[in-house]
Structure 1
Protein backbone atom coordinates (compact mmCIF):
# COMPACT_ATOMS: atom_id res chain seq x y z
CA UNK A 1 0.00 0.00 0.00
CA UNK A 2 1.23 3.53 -0.77
CA UNK A 3 2.04 5.93 2.08
CA UNK A 4 -0.87 8.16 1.00
CA UNK A 5 -3.41 5.35 1.27
CA UNK A 6 -1.97 4.24 4.62
CA UNK A 7 -2.11 7.83 5.91
CA UNK A 8 -5.75 8.18 4.85
CA UNK A 9 -6.78 4.87 6.44
CA UNK A 10 -4.89 5.53 9.66
CA UNK A 11 -6.23 9.07 9.85
CA UNK A 12 -9.79 7.85 9.50
CA UNK A 13 -9.32 5.42 12.40
CA UNK A 14 -7.74 8.12 14.58
CA UNK A 15 -10.58 10.54 13.86
CA UNK A 16 -13.16 7.85 14.54
CA UNK A 17 -11.63 7.24 17.98
CA UNK A 18 -11.55 10.92 18.87
CA UNK A 19 -15.06 11.61 17.66
CA UNK A 20 -16.61 8.58 19.32
CA UNK A 21 -14.72 8.42 22.62
CA UNK A 22 -13.13 11.84 23.06
CA UNK A 23 -9.72 10.21 23.21
CA UNK A 24 -7.44 7.54 21.84
CA UNK A 25 -6.39 9.46 18.76
CA UNK A 26 -2.76 9.90 19.71
CA UNK A 27 -2.55 6.41 21.16
CA UNK A 28 -3.34 5.14 17.68
CA UNK A 29 -1.65 7.90 15.67
CA UNK A 30 1.85 7.45 17.11
CA UNK A 31 2.11 3.69 16.40
CA UNK A 32 0.61 4.22 12.93
CA UNK A 33 3.14 6.94 12.10
CA UNK A 34 6.04 4.85 13.41
CA UNK A 35 5.22 1.37 12.14
CA UNK A 36 3.16 2.06 9.02
CA UNK A 37 4.66 5.32 7.76
CA UNK A 38 8.28 5.13 8.91
CA UNK A 39 8.43 8.13 11.26
CA UNK A 40 10.90 8.17 14.13
CA UNK A 41 9.25 8.13 17.59
CA UNK A 42 10.24 11.79 18.14
CA UNK A 43 8.81 12.90 14.77
CA UNK A 44 5.72 10.75 15.30
CA UNK A 45 4.90 12.37 18.66
CA UNK A 46 5.23 15.85 17.15
CA UNK A 47 3.08 14.94 14.13
CA UNK A 48 0.57 13.28 16.45
CA UNK A 49 0.19 16.46 18.50
CA UNK A 50 -0.56 18.45 15.36
CA UNK A 51 -3.04 15.89 13.99
CA UNK A 52 -4.82 15.46 17.32
CA UNK A 53 -5.01 19.21 18.03
CA UNK A 54 -6.73 19.93 14.70
CA UNK A 55 -9.01 16.90 14.88
CA UNK A 56 -10.00 17.52 18.52
CA UNK A 57 -10.93 21.12 17.81
CA UNK A 58 -13.18 19.96 14.97
CA UNK A 59 -14.80 17.22 17.04
CA UNK A 60 -15.21 19.63 19.97
CA UNK A 61 -17.46 21.84 17.85
CA UNK A 62 -19.76 18.93 17.07
CA UNK A 63 -20.01 17.82 20.70
CA UNK A 64 -20.54 21.40 21.92
CA UNK A 65 -23.49 21.82 19.57
CA UNK A 66 -25.01 18.71 21.13
CA UNK A 67 -24.52 20.13 24.63
CA UNK A 68 -21.97 17.53 25.70
CA UNK A 69 -19.16 19.89 26.80
CA UNK A 70 -18.78 21.09 30.39
CA UNK A 71 -16.71 24.18 29.82
CA UNK A 72 -15.84 25.03 33.43
CA UNK A 73 -14.36 21.64 34.31
CA UNK A 74 -12.67 21.34 30.92
CA UNK A 75 -11.10 24.79 31.26
CA UNK A 76 -9.73 23.87 34.72
CA UNK A 77 -8.21 20.64 33.43
CA UNK A 78 -6.76 22.42 30.42
CA UNK A 79 -5.40 25.46 32.30
CA UNK A 80 -3.52 23.41 34.88
CA UNK A 81 -2.01 21.24 32.15
CA UNK A 82 -0.58 24.01 29.95
CA UNK A 83 2.71 24.62 31.80
CA UNK A 84 3.44 20.91 32.46
CA UNK A 85 2.71 20.16 28.80
CA UNK A 86 5.07 22.88 27.61
CA UNK A 87 7.86 21.87 30.01
CA UNK A 88 7.62 18.18 29.24
CA UNK A 89 7.48 18.91 25.51
CA UNK A 90 10.79 20.75 25.75
CA UNK A 91 12.36 17.83 27.61
CA UNK A 92 11.06 15.13 25.28
CA UNK A 93 13.68 15.77 22.59
CA UNK A 94 16.49 14.97 25.05
CA UNK A 95 15.25 11.49 25.99
CA UNK A 96 16.51 8.32 24.25
CA UNK A 97 14.11 6.76 21.76
CA UNK A 98 13.79 3.44 23.70
CA UNK A 99 12.72 5.40 26.78
CA UNK A 100 10.00 7.26 24.87
CA UNK A 101 8.76 4.02 23.28
CA UNK A 102 8.65 2.18 26.62
CA UNK A 103 6.92 5.08 28.35
CA UNK A 104 4.31 5.25 25.61
CA UNK A 105 3.68 1.50 25.92
CA UNK A 106 3.20 1.84 29.68
CA UNK A 107 0.76 4.73 29.36
CA UNK A 108 -1.21 2.85 26.69
CA UNK A 109 -1.52 -0.16 29.00
CA UNK A 110 -2.66 1.95 31.96
CA UNK A 111 -5.13 3.83 29.78
CA UNK A 112 -6.64 0.54 28.56
CA UNK A 113 -7.20 -0.63 32.14
CA UNK A 114 -8.75 2.71 33.10
CA UNK A 115 -11.11 2.58 30.15
CA UNK A 116 -12.23 -0.93 31.05
CA UNK A 117 -12.89 0.18 34.62
CA UNK A 118 -14.59 3.45 33.64
CA UNK A 119 -17.91 1.74 32.89
CA UNK A 120 -18.38 0.61 36.45
CA UNK A 121 -17.20 3.95 37.80
CA UNK A 122 -19.63 5.81 35.58
CA UNK A 123 -22.63 3.82 36.87
CA UNK A 124 -21.78 4.78 40.42
CA UNK A 125 -20.87 8.32 39.43
CA UNK A 126 -24.31 9.23 38.16
CA UNK A 127 -25.58 9.13 41.72
CA UNK A 128 -22.92 11.68 42.73
CA UNK A 129 -24.35 14.54 40.66
CA UNK A 130 -21.04 15.37 38.91
CA UNK A 131 -19.82 18.23 41.15
CA UNK A 132 -16.45 19.69 40.16
CA UNK A 133 -13.71 19.15 42.75
CA UNK A 134 -11.14 21.86 41.95
CA UNK A 135 -8.16 20.36 43.82
CA UNK A 136 -8.45 16.90 42.33
CA UNK A 137 -9.31 18.27 38.90
CA UNK A 138 -6.27 20.56 38.94
CA UNK A 139 -3.92 17.76 40.00
CA UNK A 140 -5.22 15.43 37.32
CA UNK A 141 -4.99 18.19 34.71
CA UNK A 142 -1.35 18.92 35.54
CA UNK A 143 -0.36 15.26 35.33
CA UNK A 144 -2.16 14.75 32.04
CA UNK A 145 -0.56 17.89 30.63
CA UNK A 146 2.89 16.50 31.42
CA UNK A 147 2.07 13.25 29.65
CA UNK A 148 0.86 15.18 26.62
CA UNK A 149 4.09 17.11 26.32
CA UNK A 150 6.39 14.16 26.96
CA UNK A 151 4.78 11.46 24.88
CA UNK A 152 2.80 13.38 22.28
CA UNK A 153 -0.48 11.99 23.55
CA UNK A 154 -3.52 14.18 23.85
CA UNK A 155 -4.49 12.37 27.04
CA UNK A 156 -8.12 11.69 26.17
CA UNK A 157 -7.97 8.06 27.20
CA UNK A 158 -6.85 9.28 30.62
CA UNK A 159 -9.04 12.40 30.76
CA UNK A 160 -12.25 10.49 30.10
CA UNK A 161 -11.82 7.97 32.96
CA UNK A 162 -10.73 10.84 35.25
CA UNK A 163 -13.83 12.86 34.43
CA UNK A 164 -16.05 9.82 34.94
CA UNK A 165 -14.52 8.58 38.20
CA UNK A 166 -13.19 11.78 39.83
CA UNK A 167 -15.80 14.32 38.74
CA UNK A 168 -18.75 11.93 38.26
CA UNK A 169 -19.43 12.87 34.64
CA UNK A 170 -21.62 10.73 32.45
CA UNK A 171 -19.83 9.20 29.47
CA UNK A 172 -21.19 11.61 26.86
CA UNK A 173 -20.21 14.70 28.89
CA UNK A 174 -16.78 13.20 29.61
CA UNK A 175 -16.27 12.49 25.90
CA UNK A 176 -17.12 16.03 24.80
CA UNK A 177 -15.24 17.78 27.61
CA UNK A 178 -12.08 15.74 27.08
CA UNK A 179 -11.78 17.14 23.54
CA UNK A 180 -11.31 20.64 24.97
CA UNK A 181 -8.51 19.40 27.23
CA UNK A 182 -6.85 17.47 24.41
CA UNK A 183 -6.86 20.42 22.02
CA UNK A 184 -5.40 22.87 24.56
CA UNK A 185 -2.73 20.47 25.86
CA UNK A 186 -1.68 19.47 22.36
CA UNK A 187 -1.30 23.10 21.25
CA UNK A 188 0.69 23.96 24.40
CA UNK A 189 3.09 21.11 23.77
CA UNK A 190 3.41 21.95 20.07
CA UNK A 191 4.50 25.47 21.02
CA UNK A 192 7.69 24.00 22.51
CA UNK A 193 8.35 21.76 19.50
CA UNK A 194 8.25 24.38 16.77
CA UNK A 195 11.67 23.49 15.40
CA UNK A 196 10.76 19.79 15.06
CA UNK A 197 7.80 20.49 12.78
CA UNK A 198 10.07 21.65 9.96
CA UNK A 199 11.32 18.12 9.33
CA UNK A 200 7.90 16.49 9.11
CA UNK A 201 6.72 14.82 5.92
CA UNK A 202 3.75 17.05 5.14
CA UNK A 203 2.76 14.88 2.19
CA UNK A 204 1.83 12.29 4.82
CA UNK A 205 0.78 14.51 7.74
CA UNK A 206 -1.66 16.65 5.73
CA UNK A 207 -3.80 13.80 4.32
CA UNK A 208 -3.58 11.99 7.66
CA UNK A 209 -5.03 15.09 9.37
CA UNK A 210 -7.72 15.59 6.74
CA UNK A 211 -8.90 12.00 7.04
CA UNK A 212 -8.88 12.28 10.82
CA UNK A 213 -11.09 15.38 10.73
CA UNK A 214 -13.63 13.61 8.53
CA UNK A 215 -13.42 10.49 10.68
CA UNK A 216 -14.17 12.52 13.79
CA UNK A 217 -17.57 13.52 12.40
CA UNK A 218 -18.34 9.87 11.66
CA UNK A 219 -17.20 9.00 15.20
CA UNK A 220 -19.65 11.49 16.66
CA UNK A 221 -22.49 9.85 14.74
CA UNK A 222 -21.26 6.38 15.74
CA UNK A 223 -21.21 7.35 19.42
CA UNK A 224 -24.90 8.29 19.18
CA UNK A 225 -25.79 4.82 17.91
CA UNK A 226 -23.63 2.52 20.07
CA UNK A 227 -23.35 2.16 23.81
CA UNK A 228 -20.42 3.76 25.58
CA UNK A 229 -19.50 0.41 27.14
CA UNK A 230 -19.13 -1.29 23.74
CA UNK A 231 -16.96 1.53 22.39
CA UNK A 232 -14.77 1.56 25.50
CA UNK A 233 -14.15 -2.18 25.37
CA UNK A 234 -13.22 -2.10 21.68
CA UNK A 235 -10.64 0.63 22.03
CA UNK A 236 -9.32 -0.74 25.32
CA UNK A 237 -8.48 -4.00 23.58
CA UNK A 238 -6.84 -2.07 20.74
CA UNK A 239 -4.75 -0.15 23.28
CA UNK A 240 -3.59 -3.34 24.97
CA UNK A 241 -2.39 -4.64 21.61
CA UNK A 242 -0.57 -1.35 20.94
CA UNK A 243 1.01 -1.42 24.41
CA UNK A 244 2.28 -4.95 23.95
CA UNK A 245 3.73 -4.22 20.49
CA UNK A 246 5.48 -1.01 21.53
CA UNK A 247 6.75 -2.58 24.76
CA UNK A 248 8.36 -5.36 22.74
CA UNK A 249 9.83 -2.79 20.35
CA UNK A 250 11.31 -0.84 23.28
CA UNK A 251 13.09 -3.99 24.44
CA UNK A 252 14.46 -4.59 20.93
CA UNK A 253 15.68 -0.96 20.72
CA UNK A 254 17.38 -1.24 24.10
CA UNK A 255 19.14 -4.45 23.16
CA UNK A 256 20.20 -3.01 19.83
CA UNK A 257 21.70 0.09 21.40
CA UNK A 258 23.50 -1.79 24.15
Structure 2
Protein backbone atom coordinates (compact mmCIF):
# COMPACT_ATOMS: atom_id res chain seq x y z
CA UNK A 1 0.00 0.00 0.00
CA UNK A 2 2.87 2.41 0.74
CA UNK A 3 4.20 2.39 -2.86
CA UNK A 4 0.68 3.13 -4.10
CA UNK A 5 0.29 6.00 -1.63
CA UNK A 6 3.64 7.43 -2.75
CA UNK A 7 2.64 7.13 -6.42
CA UNK A 8 -0.66 8.92 -5.79
CA UNK A 9 1.16 11.68 -3.90
CA UNK A 10 3.60 12.19 -6.79
CA UNK A 11 0.86 12.11 -9.43
CA UNK A 12 -1.23 14.69 -7.54
CA UNK A 13 1.80 16.95 -7.09
CA UNK A 14 2.61 16.85 -10.80
CA UNK A 15 -0.94 17.22 -12.08
CA UNK A 16 -1.87 19.99 -9.64
CA UNK A 17 1.24 21.93 -10.68
CA UNK A 18 -0.11 22.14 -14.23
CA UNK A 19 -3.75 22.68 -13.25
CA UNK A 20 -5.29 19.21 -13.63
CA UNK A 21 -6.68 16.49 -11.35
CA UNK A 22 -4.91 13.30 -12.47
CA UNK A 23 -7.93 10.98 -12.45
CA UNK A 24 -6.80 8.84 -15.40
CA UNK A 25 -3.43 8.16 -13.77
CA UNK A 26 -5.02 7.28 -10.41
CA UNK A 27 -7.22 4.78 -12.23
CA UNK A 28 -4.26 3.26 -14.06
CA UNK A 29 -2.17 2.95 -10.91
CA UNK A 30 -5.01 1.14 -9.17
CA UNK A 31 -5.56 -1.15 -12.15
CA UNK A 32 -1.88 -2.06 -12.32
CA UNK A 33 -2.03 -2.80 -8.56
CA UNK A 34 -4.79 -5.34 -9.20
CA UNK A 35 -7.67 -3.44 -7.58
CA UNK A 36 -11.21 -4.38 -8.70
CA UNK A 37 -11.90 -2.23 -11.78
CA UNK A 38 -15.46 -1.52 -10.58
CA UNK A 39 -14.22 0.60 -7.67
CA UNK A 40 -11.51 2.45 -9.61
CA UNK A 41 -13.71 5.37 -10.79
CA UNK A 42 -15.07 5.87 -7.26
CA UNK A 43 -11.57 6.35 -5.86
CA UNK A 44 -10.18 8.29 -8.82
CA UNK A 45 -13.09 10.74 -9.00
CA UNK A 46 -12.89 11.33 -5.24
CA UNK A 47 -9.18 12.09 -5.60
CA UNK A 48 -9.92 14.41 -8.54
CA UNK A 49 -12.39 16.39 -6.44
CA UNK A 50 -9.87 16.81 -3.62
CA UNK A 51 -7.08 17.96 -5.95
CA UNK A 52 -8.99 20.46 -8.10
CA UNK A 53 -11.31 21.94 -5.46
CA UNK A 54 -8.54 24.12 -4.06
CA UNK A 55 -7.42 25.21 -7.53
CA UNK A 56 -10.97 26.16 -8.49
CA UNK A 57 -11.33 28.34 -5.39
CA UNK A 58 -7.95 30.02 -5.97
CA UNK A 59 -8.80 30.83 -9.59
CA UNK A 60 -12.16 32.27 -8.52
CA UNK A 61 -10.55 34.44 -5.85
CA UNK A 62 -8.02 35.70 -8.38
CA UNK A 63 -10.88 36.80 -10.61
CA UNK A 64 -9.66 34.92 -13.70
CA UNK A 65 -12.56 32.48 -14.12
CA UNK A 66 -14.71 33.41 -17.15
CA UNK A 67 -17.91 32.39 -15.38
CA UNK A 68 -20.34 32.67 -18.28
CA UNK A 69 -18.38 30.43 -20.63
CA UNK A 70 -17.07 28.09 -17.92
CA UNK A 71 -20.51 27.50 -16.45
CA UNK A 72 -21.99 26.88 -19.89
CA UNK A 73 -19.41 24.17 -20.67
CA UNK A 74 -19.78 22.49 -17.29
CA UNK A 75 -23.58 22.63 -17.45
CA UNK A 76 -23.49 20.83 -20.79
CA UNK A 77 -20.97 18.22 -19.64
CA UNK A 78 -22.33 17.46 -16.15
CA UNK A 79 -25.46 15.47 -17.19
CA UNK A 80 -23.31 13.45 -19.61
CA UNK A 81 -20.86 12.72 -16.77
CA UNK A 82 -23.72 11.49 -14.63
CA UNK A 83 -24.92 9.20 -17.43
CA UNK A 84 -21.37 7.95 -17.94
CA UNK A 85 -21.18 7.05 -14.27
CA UNK A 86 -24.43 5.08 -14.57
CA UNK A 87 -23.32 3.16 -17.68
CA UNK A 88 -22.29 -0.50 -17.08
CA UNK A 89 -18.96 -1.39 -18.68
CA UNK A 90 -16.91 -4.58 -18.84
CA UNK A 91 -13.38 -4.81 -17.52
CA UNK A 92 -11.74 -5.18 -20.94
CA UNK A 93 -13.52 -2.16 -22.40
CA UNK A 94 -12.88 -0.13 -19.25
CA UNK A 95 -9.12 -0.78 -19.27
CA UNK A 96 -8.84 -0.21 -23.03
CA UNK A 97 -10.63 3.15 -22.88
CA UNK A 98 -8.63 4.13 -19.81
CA UNK A 99 -5.29 3.20 -21.38
CA UNK A 100 -6.14 5.04 -24.59
CA UNK A 101 -7.22 8.12 -22.63
CA UNK A 102 -3.88 8.12 -20.82
CA UNK A 103 -1.91 7.99 -24.06
CA UNK A 104 -4.05 10.81 -25.49
CA UNK A 105 -3.64 12.75 -22.26
CA UNK A 106 0.13 12.51 -22.58
CA UNK A 107 -0.05 13.74 -26.18
CA UNK A 108 -2.14 16.78 -25.22
CA UNK A 109 0.37 17.74 -22.53
CA UNK A 110 3.11 18.12 -25.15
CA UNK A 111 1.03 20.72 -27.00
CA UNK A 112 2.32 24.26 -26.46
CA UNK A 113 0.29 26.60 -24.28
CA UNK A 114 0.24 29.82 -26.24
CA UNK A 115 -1.06 33.22 -25.23
CA UNK A 116 -4.31 34.28 -26.78
CA UNK A 117 -3.81 36.43 -29.86
CA UNK A 118 -6.86 38.14 -31.28
CA UNK A 119 -10.44 36.93 -31.19
CA UNK A 120 -11.47 33.27 -30.93
CA UNK A 121 -11.39 31.46 -34.28
CA UNK A 122 -14.46 29.99 -35.99
CA UNK A 123 -13.94 26.56 -34.44
CA UNK A 124 -14.60 28.00 -30.97
CA UNK A 125 -18.35 27.89 -31.62
CA UNK A 126 -18.18 24.07 -31.66
CA UNK A 127 -16.42 23.76 -28.30
CA UNK A 128 -19.69 23.23 -26.35
CA UNK A 129 -20.38 20.13 -28.48
CA UNK A 130 -17.08 18.61 -27.35
CA UNK A 131 -18.14 19.03 -23.72
CA UNK A 132 -20.75 16.27 -24.10
CA UNK A 133 -18.43 13.34 -24.97
CA UNK A 134 -15.80 14.63 -22.56
CA UNK A 135 -18.37 14.67 -19.76
CA UNK A 136 -19.56 11.18 -20.62
CA UNK A 137 -15.98 9.85 -20.69
CA UNK A 138 -15.33 11.52 -17.35
CA UNK A 139 -18.15 9.65 -15.65
CA UNK A 140 -17.56 6.37 -17.45
CA UNK A 141 -13.92 5.76 -16.50
CA UNK A 142 -13.33 8.21 -13.67
CA UNK A 143 -11.49 11.16 -15.20
CA UNK A 144 -12.31 14.86 -15.22
CA UNK A 145 -12.00 15.57 -18.94
CA UNK A 146 -10.34 18.94 -18.39
CA UNK A 147 -7.01 17.76 -19.70
CA UNK A 148 -8.65 17.20 -23.12
CA UNK A 149 -10.75 20.36 -22.93
CA UNK A 150 -7.86 22.73 -22.19
CA UNK A 151 -5.85 22.05 -25.40
CA UNK A 152 -9.04 22.44 -27.42
CA UNK A 153 -9.69 25.82 -25.81
CA UNK A 154 -6.12 26.91 -26.53
CA UNK A 155 -6.31 25.80 -30.17
CA UNK A 156 -9.53 27.75 -30.71
CA UNK A 157 -8.19 30.79 -28.80
CA UNK A 158 -11.25 30.51 -26.57
CA UNK A 159 -9.82 32.76 -23.85
CA UNK A 160 -6.63 33.82 -22.04
CA UNK A 161 -4.34 31.06 -20.75
CA UNK A 162 -5.14 31.57 -17.05
CA UNK A 163 -8.85 31.72 -17.80
CA UNK A 164 -8.61 28.44 -19.70
CA UNK A 165 -6.82 26.84 -16.74
CA UNK A 166 -9.57 28.11 -14.43
CA UNK A 167 -12.25 26.74 -16.76
CA UNK A 168 -10.56 23.34 -16.97
CA UNK A 169 -10.32 23.18 -13.18
CA UNK A 170 -14.03 23.92 -12.74
CA UNK A 171 -14.87 21.48 -15.55
CA UNK A 172 -12.94 18.69 -13.80
CA UNK A 173 -14.51 19.44 -10.42
CA UNK A 174 -18.12 19.43 -11.64
CA UNK A 175 -17.69 16.42 -13.92
CA UNK A 176 -16.05 14.48 -11.12
CA UNK A 177 -18.92 15.27 -8.74
CA UNK A 178 -21.60 14.24 -11.24
CA UNK A 179 -19.65 11.20 -12.42
CA UNK A 180 -19.15 10.09 -8.83
CA UNK A 181 -22.89 10.43 -8.16
CA UNK A 182 -23.62 8.18 -11.15
CA UNK A 183 -21.02 5.64 -10.06
CA UNK A 184 -22.48 5.49 -6.55
CA UNK A 185 -26.00 4.92 -7.89
CA UNK A 186 -24.72 2.21 -10.23
CA UNK A 187 -22.65 0.31 -7.66
CA UNK A 188 -24.67 0.93 -4.53
CA UNK A 189 -23.72 2.13 -1.08
CA UNK A 190 -21.76 -1.03 -0.26
CA UNK A 191 -19.32 -0.60 -3.13
CA UNK A 192 -18.87 3.08 -2.35
CA UNK A 193 -18.09 2.37 1.31
CA UNK A 194 -15.62 -0.34 0.30
CA UNK A 195 -13.94 2.04 -2.14
CA UNK A 196 -13.79 4.80 0.47
CA UNK A 197 -12.34 2.46 3.10
CA UNK A 198 -9.59 1.33 0.73
CA UNK A 199 -9.04 4.73 -0.85
CA UNK A 200 -8.96 6.99 2.22
CA UNK A 201 -5.13 6.91 2.58
CA UNK A 202 -4.87 7.66 -1.14
CA UNK A 203 -7.27 10.60 -0.86
CA UNK A 204 -5.17 12.00 1.99
CA UNK A 205 -2.02 11.53 -0.12
CA UNK A 206 -3.43 13.44 -3.11
CA UNK A 207 -4.76 16.19 -0.83
CA UNK A 208 -1.22 16.80 0.44
CA UNK A 209 0.45 16.31 -2.94
CA UNK A 210 -2.05 18.57 -4.67
CA UNK A 211 -1.47 21.40 -2.23
CA UNK A 212 2.30 21.12 -2.57
CA UNK A 213 2.03 20.96 -6.36
CA UNK A 214 -0.18 24.00 -6.68
CA UNK A 215 1.82 26.15 -4.25
CA UNK A 216 5.47 25.12 -4.58
CA UNK A 217 6.30 23.08 -7.69
CA UNK A 218 6.22 25.96 -10.15
CA UNK A 219 8.68 27.91 -8.02
CA UNK A 220 11.43 25.36 -8.61
CA UNK A 221 10.93 24.17 -12.20
CA UNK A 222 9.60 25.86 -15.33
CA UNK A 223 6.04 24.76 -16.05
CA UNK A 224 6.90 23.25 -19.42
CA UNK A 225 9.38 20.82 -17.82
CA UNK A 226 6.78 19.77 -15.26
CA UNK A 227 4.26 19.24 -18.07
CA UNK A 228 6.73 17.12 -20.04
CA UNK A 229 7.62 15.03 -17.00
CA UNK A 230 3.95 14.51 -16.23
CA UNK A 231 3.28 13.57 -19.86
CA UNK A 232 6.07 10.99 -19.88
CA UNK A 233 4.78 9.43 -16.65
CA UNK A 234 1.24 9.35 -18.04
CA UNK A 235 2.32 7.80 -21.36
CA UNK A 236 4.35 5.11 -19.58
CA UNK A 237 1.47 4.16 -17.27
CA UNK A 238 -1.03 4.18 -20.15
CA UNK A 239 1.19 2.00 -22.37
CA UNK A 240 1.69 -0.49 -19.54
CA UNK A 241 -2.03 -0.63 -18.95
CA UNK A 242 -2.82 -1.24 -22.64
CA UNK A 243 -0.29 -4.08 -22.73
CA UNK A 244 -2.15 -5.85 -19.91
CA UNK A 245 -5.55 -5.79 -21.68
TM range (shorter): 0.7 to 0.9
Q: Is the 8 A contact 1:136 1:166 kept in 2?
A: no
Cα gap change, 1:73 to 1:16, in 2 (>3 Å): farther
Does 1:164 pair with 2:164? no
Deviation string for 1:131-187 (max 9, x for gaps)?
Answer: 897732311211210110111111122122122222444443332321100010111
CA distance in structure 2 between the partners assigned to 1:65 and 1:18 by the alignment: 21
Task: State the SS of the aligned residue for 1:192.
Answer: helix
Aligned residue for 2:231? 236
User: What are the equivalent positions in structure 2 for 1:85-234 lying under 5 Å apart?
Assistant: 85-91=81-87, 94-117=88-111, 119=112, 122-123=113-114, 125-129=115-119, 135-195=125-185, 196=187, 198-199=190-191, 200-221=194-215, 222-223=217-218, 225-234=220-229
CA–CA separation in structure 1 for the residues paired with 2:122 and 2:74: 14
1:43 matches 2:55: no
CA distance in 2, matches of 1:170, 1:53: 24
RMSD of aligned residue pairs (Cα, Å) = 2.4
Q: Report what 1:56 is aligned to.
A: 52
Query: What's the TM-score, normalizing by structure 2?
Result: 0.86
Q: Which residue is equivalent to 1:71?
A: 67
Partners of 1:22 and 1:156 within 8 A in 2: no
Tell me the distance in 2 between the aligned counterparts of 1:13 and 1:62: 21
Inter-CA distance 238–244: structure 2 relative to 1 (3 Å threshold): same
Aligned to 1:246: 241
The structure 1 segments of at least 4 consecutive aligned residues displaced by more than 6 Å after TM superposition are: 131-134
Work out whether residues 55 and 213 of structure 1, in 8 Å CA contact, stay in contact via their aligned partners in 2.
yes
Q: TM-score, normalised by structure 1?
A: 0.82
Distance in 2 (CA, whole Å) between partners of 1:98 and 1:74 is 34
- Are the counterparts in 1 of residues 109 and 228 from structure 2 also a CA contact under 8 Å? yes
Classify 1:6/1:104 alpha carbon distance in 2 versus 1 (closer, same or farther; 3 Å).
same
Which residue does the alignment assign to 1:254? Answer: none
> For structure 1, which runs of at least 5 residues remain unmatched after alignment?
251-258
Gaps of 5+ in 2: none
2:110 and 2:228 in contact (8 A); partners too: yes
Q: Could you report, residue by residue, the CA deviation over 1:170-226 in whole angstroms, capped at 9, with x for unpaired residues?
A: 443332321100010111111112243532343431121122122222111223554
Distance 1:242 1:60 in 2: 27
